[in-house]
Amino acid sequence: MKLLFASKIEDVDVVKGMLAEEGIECEVTNDTIPYPGALFDPQLWVVKDSDFARASAVVEVFRKSTSPDKLGPWTCQSCGEQLEGQFSSCWKCGALRNETV
């Protein structure tokens, strides 16, 4: 397992969704704050070392794209739920955002 990316949780969630669309398995760590006042950026880890190069390319696409904070609201293609722009998947049915980030 290799560390791919560390950032605020919103960015980690978007990149995680992008990796899922590519079929790249990953895990998030440091997504909770264990001690009062301690701040740690969430980390995104690629499970299979052989996927790391492809995952790195996905991160580069993310970095060159529009900031996820500036993405507008979207409607889930599967269930019709209205979602805020920072979400890469539907909270109601789990479907991934179809828009390329």
The span from the CA of 77 to the CA of 89, in Å, is 11
60 neighbors 22 (Cβ within 8 angstroms): no
- Domain 2-65 fold: Alpha-Beta Plaits (3.30.70)
Tell me the helices (H) and strands (E) count for the chain, helix number first. Answer: 2, 5
Residue 101 confidence class, pLDDT cut points 50, 70, 90: very low
Tokens at 74, concatenated? 């979207």
Domain locations along the chain = 2-65
CB contact at 8 A, 55 and 4:
yes
For the stretch 9-56, pLDDT in tens is: 888 988 999 999 999 999 999 888 766 666 678 999 999 999 999 999
> In whole numbers, what is the pLDDT of the chain averaged over residues?
84
pTM score, whole prediction: 0.62
